[in-house]
Amino acid sequence: MFTIAKTEAARGIWSAFKEPLTAPARGMVMVDVIAAGICGTDYHIYSWDSWSAGRIKTPMTIGHEFVGRISAIGEGVTGYEIGDRVSAECHISCGECHYCRTGNAHICEKTSILGVDRPGAFAEQVEVPASNLWRVPEAIPDKHAAVFDPVGNAMHMVSTAKVTAKNVLVVGGGAIGLFAAAIAKAHGARTVALQEPNQARAAIARSLDLDLVVNPRDPDCAAQILNLTDGHGPEVVLEVSGNAVALNAALDIAAPGATFALLGIPSGPVELDLGAKVVMKGVSLLGITGRRMYETWYQVEAFMLKNPDLMEKVITHVLPATDFQHGFELMDEGACGKIVLDFQQIDQRLPI
* Residue 118 CB partners (closer than 8 Å, separation 6+): 92, 112
Sign of the CA dihedral running 2, 34, 316, 263: negative
For the beta carbon of residue 122, count every other beta carbon within 10 angstroms.
30
Report helix, strand or coil for 119. Answer: coil
| 187 part of the active site | no
Catalytic residue among 3, 41, 61, 296: 41
**Residue 37 β-bridge partners:** 65, 340
Task: Yes or no: say if 239 and 250 are a contact pair by the CB < 8 Å rule.
Answer: yes
Angstrom distance (rounded) from CA 13 to CA 25: 29
H runs (alpha helix) in 137-174: 142-145, 148-161
User: Which residue from 135, 153, 19 is spatially nearest to 67, judged by alpha carbons?
Assistant: 135
Task: Yes or no: say if 322 and 344 are a contact pair by the CB < 8 Å rule.
Answer: no
Task: Yes or no: say if 34 and 67 are a contact pair by the CB < 8 Å rule.
Answer: yes
Gyration radius from the chain CA atoms = 20
Sign of the CA dihedral running 194, 229, 208, 182: positive
Half-sphere exposure of 3 (CA within 13 A, CB side): 22
Catalytic residue among 3, 44, 111, 259: 44
| 41 part of the active site | yes
DSSP 192-207: EEEE-S-HHHHHHHHH
User: Which residue from 153, 152, 64, 54 is spatially nearest to 115, judged by alpha carbons?
Assistant: 64
**Residue 297 β-bridge partners:** none
Residues identified as active-site: 41, 44
